[in-house]
Amino acid sequence: MEINFEIIRSTGVITLNRPQALNALNIEMAKQFSETLNKWSKDKNIKRVLLKGEGKHFCAGGDVKKVHLSDNKSNLKKNFFLTEYKLNYEIYNFPKPYMSIWKGVVMGGGVGLSIFGDYRIVTDTTQFAMPETAIGFFPDVGGSYFLSRLKNNIGLFLGLTGYILNANEILSLKLGTHYCPIHELDNLIDEYISKGTIKNFTKISLDNSSILINTNLISECFNGNIQNILNKIKNSSLNDKLYQNITNKCPMSLFVTNELIRKGREKSLEECLEMEYNLSQKMVYRNDFSQGIDAVLISKTHKPKWDPELLKDINLNEVESFFEENKNQLF
């Protein structure tokens, strides 16, 4: 089974079970997850939920490789995102305590399975990122909601760059709720299952974080349109690699992500997921998505041929057209 469900005492335990794929979420897993969560929400014998990943990692994201390889006639490009985003909202509205174990990689769709729960346990190995601009897509699963609400434009920074946060950064930004040393995880899980409580550990101390040190500079630079942001970075004391990092991303994804997070600030989660779903149904059919998935996940050349290739060639009217309301309804 690619996803396992069990009830231990009064706790519903969900285990993502695709360790060879870093527990990437596919549509079958998402459907079973949703059905079980709905059942447990009404079951008086279930007091709480625990979500974890098998192996060294929590979840590297949605199985976008399978989405890319699917025939357009299969409707997977529609149904996967429909199912995934509805599950994100179901987790947000789940009426009982919901805890996720953020061990190892927590990215993209894995964030969506956990960020809207009550407790997110960060450990020494945790790596958090929203890396979608590298594959011709955008930070989804409610990214327009939770990234837009981070202070000092840190959310936009994360969405545009795909920067990987370490444990200390995750805790400082309050994306995670608790820290647990990796060797104490089993004890923490046992306590949560048996008592519904979470053991507190002292926050870890890591080397100084470049983003925490440069919060004010990031706030200043990551404001305005994409070209303005790049100009500010180029003329700032931020690492030169940051400028190169962003200019290597998909140009259309950068413009779309900037607009998405700007619009998300004023929307509810339901409205954000609706906006993201409509946007997904335009982005997945673009050649950039195919190029990005192939370059990063299939051929692994990491040399996609973006279209348009340059930021200056992006049609702003086309970007705005992606956000026009259409007949795709999520809720």
> Any idea which residues carry the catalytic annotation?
62, 109, 132, 140
For 191, how many CA atoms within 13 A lie in the half-sphere containing its CB? 10
DSSP character for 221? H
Query: At 49, phi and psi to the nearest 5?
Result: -130, 145
How many of the other CB atoms lie within 10 Å of CB of 318? 13
| Alpha helices for 9-93 (secondary structure H) | 27-42, 64-69, 76-92
Question: Under a CB-based contact definition with an 8 Å cutoff, are residues 169 and 135 in contact?
Answer: no
Please choose, from the candidates 132, 1, 25, 138, the residue with its C-alpha nearest in 3D space to the C-alpha of residue 88: 25
Q: Return the structure tokens found at 6.
A: 């069990």
- Find the Cα–Cα–Cα–Cα dihedral 232, 235, 239, 243, rounded to 10°: 60
Q: Which amino acid is at 12?
A: G
The SS3 call for residue 3 is strand
CA 286 – CA 283 distance, rounded (Å): 5
CA 71 – CA 88 distance, rounded (Å): 25
